[in-house]
Amino acid sequence: MRLLLIRHGQTPANVHGILDAEVPGPGLTELGQRQADALPAALADRGIERLFVSSMVRTQHTAAPLAASLGLEPVVLPGLREIAAGDTQGKRDATSVQIYISTVHGWSGGDRSTRMPGGESGDEFFARYDDAVRQIEASGVAVAAAVSHGAAIRTWASAAAQNTPDHFGTKRNLENTGIVELEGSSDDGWRLVDWEGEPIGGEQLIDRTAQDPTGERS
């Protein structure tokens, strides 16, 4: 299977650097909607057969234009949601951002037993994301797209891909509507095909002023 993991379009929290992983969460900014509107033309030749989203509103709004253009009904998989922010939820101060990022990077470094303060552990995150990906595979299609979240995609994809180190995603940016493309399966292993860190619709959709902690490289 070829799996396209698409980060959702920009949200108000992305603009202001706020850690926001609550379900259902906010919708998109005006720029975020334009990023979503660019997906159909940008992905028209990818052969997408099924489309999946998380339980968070921003992924569903991002997927809507692509779903309409492909004539697909997005399937909601809660396991694709963002890494829970726990005690740092709703905060933007440097200490809270550092706690969130360092915890996630610790999982990428191999310490998955560590728990996000007030939130989930690395083991719990990988278990629910792995389960969501297996549900995508169970659809039986050759090409699937899933709209998910910055920290979740970077962390899971880097660990799942056998041709990258687990910390690979900590060194790569993934802006809103950036795409990580993998090929393979959960049983046979995944291979990273491409890491498109900038918005898939082009440079005009980049917000260089956004204080987005889950999209930037470390």
Cite the active site residues: 8, 82
CA distance 48 to 63: 12
For residue 180, how many other CB atoms are within 10 A of its CB?
A: 26
Cα distances (angstroms) measured from residue 31 to each of 28, 36, 134, 172, 204: 8, 9, 32, 22, 10
Q: How many CB atoms lie within 10 A of CB 155?
A: 25
